[in-house]
Structure 1
Amino acid sequence: MAINDVHLHCHYIHHTIYELVKSFPDYKKIMDLFEDKVDPLYIDKCNNVDIDVYGTFKSKIKNKCPQVISYLYNVYEQNNKNIPEVYCKYLSYWIYHDLLNKKYVNGITILYHSLIDVFKSIYKDVNVDILKRMYISDTTLANITSLYDIYTCLGIINDNRGYKYDKNFCNAIKAIQDKNKAEMEARFSALRDQNVVHTCKNKIPFSIIITLFIMFLTTLLLFIVYKFTPYGSYLSHEIKKIKKKWKNIHEASIIRESSEIPQYNLNDKCYDILYHCD
């Protein structure tokens, strides 16, 4: 049963695990095809799997192990060394949800690796290193289960054509949808507001740093031009011209102000004289 030079390539770059969940129902059908798979070699190898930590599930794991091996072999056979990531992820989910009935939160990855090792012991030429990295983390499995249940419910609703003629059923579905939509929008809005505030706080110091950097760079550039280039004398001459213009403007302003003060005083005195005349 050896497979020559077969390597597993799980494509996981372009998809998150949550995006892959919507395809899980399709891969459940594939797994179910091998539910009653009985192969003497598979059974013999599965009896050696280390499952002492799973208590009452030991017998079930050994009985279902050949099904897992058949599923994995189908992956290789059908995809010609090009294995979609969803195959890998679904197996990890299936171990948690179907095989162990969600009774174990921790240790799912250990069992996943143990079953992969059984597969490797049968098909020795297969490189399963990538496959062993393509599991769902134990902490994510609960979220995956909730999301998968939603897809399952949607599938049941879509398959149940009779609901279109049941007004009460439609109203119940709509009520659930509206309630959850409002709650999710409120949560996303709060999260978005937090992100905006956080982003603004981060941008303020950054803007100050950029401004100071530009000022420093401009000053340094002018200094270099002034000291080390032929344009230094020209720049010095222009600066003196500007300073002279400002000086002249300032002096003119002082002269104008000084010439206006006596006039104001004179007007005030005339007013006083006129006011006190009989």
Structure 2
Amino acid sequence: MNTVMIYYSNVNFFPECNKIINGYSSKWIEDDNCGEQFFNRVGIEKDSFLEKNCGIALLYLSDIDLSISSHKIPREAGYTYLYYWVYHVVFKSNYSEDMKKFYKALIDDHYRTYKSIISKYIAEDISKVNLEKLKILYDVYACLYDIKENNGYQNDSIFCSSLKYITEIYNKEMNHQLHNISNPHTLNSHKSNMGIYIVIPILVILLISLFTLTLYKYNIHGSHLLEIIKRKISTYSNINEKGNKIGDSEMFIGIQGDSRYNVLYNYE
């Protein structure tokens, strides 16, 4: 797998990384490691905003490296997110040498402190184009993450609103079908509802197709990403095939043990 695709494969961890770094944003205190010496070493002018975010980033790196067994975020995903965060949050999407030097200085400072217990890892330079594509992917995963964790999404974008609507309909219908399993006398009524197994996968595929088209059109690596997403679409298509083959209560009961039937948990 090439470097760009490794970046893409790590995006599904970004919402959890964001949760960690936001936790430190709310309880940051001045860090001596982010003083004049740090900025002189970086070669950029110190200001209160950069100083604060330097401290937040160092706390985040410590969490990623020292608590890796508890949050189960791969190191490469955690460091890739930091690169993304420095670009989008700290430097306000201004891709510059200062941005790259700031990121590298954070890694170097962190490694000097903990080199006895961690191995050094640094995300290679990520181009501005790929950072913007990471943002598109991250927005999708953030939407799914919030639906899963918070039972809702505050973003009013068409994609997120549609995805939330689809998952609500799907899960409502699945609850209804599982209720029929426990009430055999109503089992025959499921035949009139089989259309849901056709409509929902089609809607999901349409949404994914629109998203794929955007990446494919503007990203030179779109063909590689397209293959990955095609496999995801194939998974949704299997839902349709399986739904059409359901003919007795034993097969309905099998739904409970098949994680593919829960849309919320199929985005990894």
TM-score (norm 1): 0.46
Greater Rg, structure 1 or structure 2? 1
